[in-house]
Amino acid sequence: MMNKFFFIPLLFVIASLNSCIVLSTKKYNALLAQKDSLGTSLDKATLKIGSLEDEIEKLRADTARLNSRIADLTDKITGLDKNYSSLRKNSSSEINKLSDNLKAREARLKEVEDILRKRDEATNALKEKLQQALLGFQKSGLSVDIRNGKVYVSLTDKLLFDTGSIIIDEKGKQALTELAKVLKTQPDINIAVEGHTDNQRVLNLGQIKDNWDLSVLRATSVVRFLTDEQKVPAERLTATGKGQYQPIDKAGNAEARSHNRRIEIVLSPKLDELYNLIK
């Protein structure tokens, strides 16, 4: 017969084992739920790992492309460095050439400026001389002014001619004689004599058919007087007729027509030096 003192502890051990192995329904369900949750998390982690592996492959491909691009750019930079070195070697001589060309152009420009300055000085001096020489005729319809680097001596037709005439009267000859005195002291001046008329039709003037004829013949009369009687060298003069087509007063009244009937003697300094320089 088993000792009662031994039996009691054995029962206590058996009771303890039963309490450890047997789970309640609630606890069992909780463990099942935890197992399902862990399985779901594992599946998600597996998918995430697969996605990360795809991203890694893409990054590797991008890295390979970038490395190839870097290699291409490195080759280009090397080529540019070689070109730059070559240009740098040649740049010194090219810069010197450009500098020499620039200095030559600046020197020529200075020459042109000097010639033009001399021209302007000569033109202004000529204007002053003519104004002094022709001072007594300025109230009779004579004027002297500068336009476009040239001196214009303008004489109204009433100072030189009778109405419709191409013969210079005495007062006109006096004015042209004083003008000739100045011109003969200025051998480097070209002289153009321009005849101008108003827009009224020419009637009953014999050989003079129209304003073209009248303007040309009056200019020719002035040229002949200056060359034949005043001995101004003929090669310095030209005669042109402008007719009615360059009026200085377009008002259309009698006073305007009187202004437009005129002889203009255009004096321009010879610019052979400038033309030769430009060539």
Find the mean pLDDT for residues 65-93.
Answer: 81
Mean pLDDT of 7-36: 63
- Whose structure tokens read 């030769």? 276
pLDDT band at 7 (very low <50, low <70, confident <90, very high): very low
Mean pLDDT of 157-186: 93
What the block records as the tokens of 110 is 């200075």
pLDDT of residue 2: 47
Q: Which of 19-23, 43-47, 103-107 has the lowest mean pLDDT?
A: 19-23
Residues 54, 135: Cα–Cα separation, whole Å: 106
Name, of 41-50, 60-69, 118-127, 232-241, the range with top average pLDDT: 232-241
Q: Which of 147, 136, 132, 171 is nearest to 266 (CA)?
A: 147
pLDDT at res. 22 = 57
Integer angstrom CA distances of residue 178 from 92, 147, 150, 170, 250: 63, 22, 19, 13, 31
pLDDT of residue 227: 97
Whether pLDDT at 1 is above 70: no
* pLDDT score for 31: 80
Predicted TM-score (pTM) of the model is 0.60
Examine the pLDDT at 220 and tell me if it is beyond 90: yes
Among the ranges given (8-12, 69-73, 88-92, 272-276), the one the predictor scored with the smallest mean pLDDT: 8-12
Query: Is residue 109 pLDDT above 60, yes or no?
Result: yes
Cα(109)–Cα(12) distance, integer angstroms: 128
Determine the Cα–Cα distance for residues 113 and 116; give it in Å rounded to an integer. 5
Report how far Cα 62 is from the mean position of its chain's Cα atoms: 50
Residue 278 pLDDT grade (very low, low, confident, very high; cuts 50, 70, 90): low
Helix (H), strand (E) at residue 207: none
Q: What is the structure's pLDDT at 9? A: 52
